[in-house]
Chains A and B, each alone.
Chain A
Amino acid sequence: MQNSFDMEKNINQEIEQTLKALDDVQQVEVNPYLYTRMKAKMDQSMGTPINFSFPFFKIALIMLLVSNVLVGIYAYKVYNPKTDITEIITQEFNLRFKGDFQNL
């Protein structure tokens, strides 16, 4: 009987002491690099916006368009070496010149 009473008392003491364990928590000082690290994280996650007004991008865009046109012309000539554009249009729309026009 005495033992169980003592045990109960000990348990209550333990509980009270445990509940007091956070009573004297000291304020923790902040890492001096917190802001720098956070700023780096923010810059990284947001990324650097691309400035399309920069002349390099304008020149690059024009060069890309010109090279596309040139490649297109070159590819057309390679795959259709003997065909003439007027011939293709004539065939495509089934156009025939008759009469006086044939003699021209």
Chain B
Amino acid sequence: MDETKLVQNLVAKSEPTFQYLVETYQKQILNTCLGFVPNIHDAEDITQEVFIEVYRSIEQFKQDSKLSTWMYRIAVSKSLEHIRYKKSQKRKAFFKSLIGLDEKESMLQVDKFNHPGIELENKERAKVLYEHIDKLSTNQRIAFTLHKVEGLSHQEISKIMDNSIGAVESLIFRAKGNLKKSLKIYYEKKMI
């Protein structure tokens, strides 16, 4: 289906078109969310939220970029929103445990690593890497994840982030450097 027609039908709230949109992009969006939030259940919830947001705010899509780029932006922002929410939940649980309310168990339940796309032998290392990606700045995290996990080109990332290709390259380079530093400290502590 032609993208302009697709958008027109979505604006008209056509249900078959919305179903077509979901079926076409659901795998892409789920895997993007999973790249940021490595838990299949959470990623599925975020994917649903992304499509609901697309359905509700399609009128705001100006068609100055591809629909998929716009949807990627929503997926990234929803994933980051989810990460912030989980972090705040974790902080709340920590403070509750400090004042005596037993929240230790729920604290452990937060952020359970469950990425079905990662092979078992790589799971431990991937988990470590995700913990360190979590320490990166937001922009470095977005650029690195979309490039490394999603395999998107610098050009595609620049469109999603609304940045120049040079800026994206710089973000990925700095992200790799910061990850190396942070992992070095981690492994030094582990080996001593």
Q: Does A17 contact B (CB under 8 A)?
A: yes
**Contact yes or no, A19 B26, CB < 8 A:** no
Shortest Cβ distance from residue B166 to the other chain A in the assembled complex, whole angstroms: 23
Q: Does B149 contact A (CB under 8 A)?
A: yes
Chain A residues within 8 Å of B26, by CB? 30, 34-35
Chain B residues within 8 Å of A7, by CB? 191
**Contact yes or no, A38 B51, CB < 8 A:** yes
Q: CA separation between A24 and B27, bound complex, in Å?
A: 17
**Contact yes or no, A24 B191, CB < 8 A:** no
Chain A residues within 8 Å of B22, by CB? 34-35, 38
Q: Does B62 contact A (CB under 8 A)?
A: no
Chain B residues within 8 Å of A66, by CB? none
Q: Does B180 contact A (CB under 8 A)?
A: yes
Q: Contacting B179 at CB < 8 Å: which of A19, A25, A29, A35?
A: A19
Q: Does B66 contact A (CB under 8 A)?
A: no
Chain A residues within 8 Å of B167, by CB? none
Tally A-B pairs: CB < 8 A.
Answer: 84
**Contact yes or no, B180 A25, CB < 8 A:** no
Q: Does B6 contact A (CB under 8 A)?
A: no
Q: CA separation between A62 and B148, bound complex, in Å?
A: 66
**Contact yes or no, B125 A17, CB < 8 A:** yes
Instruction: Tell whether A28 pairs with B30 under 8 Å between CB atoms, given A35-B23, A38-B22, A38-B51.
Output: yes
**Contact yes or no, A21 B184, CB < 8 A:** no
Which chain A residues numbered 1 to 56 have a C-beta less than 8 Å away from chain B? Answer: 7, 10-11, 14-15, 17-19, 21-31, 34-35, 37-38, 41-42, 45
Q: CA separation between A21 and B118, bound complex, in Å?
A: 8
Question: Contact mask A46-85 → B, CB, 8 Å, 1/0?
Answer: 0000000000000000000000000000000000000000
Q: Contacting A11 at CB < 8 Å: which of B27, B115, B119, B191?
A: B191
Shortest Cβ distance from residue B44 to the other chain A in the assembled complex, whole angstroms: 6
Chain A residues within 8 Å of B115, by CB? 25, 28
**Contact yes or no, B128 A18, CB < 8 A:** yes
Instruction: Tell whether A25 pairs with B125 under 8 Å between CB atoms, given A18-B183, A19-B176.
Output: no
Q: CA separation between A27 and B44, bound complex, in Å?
A: 14
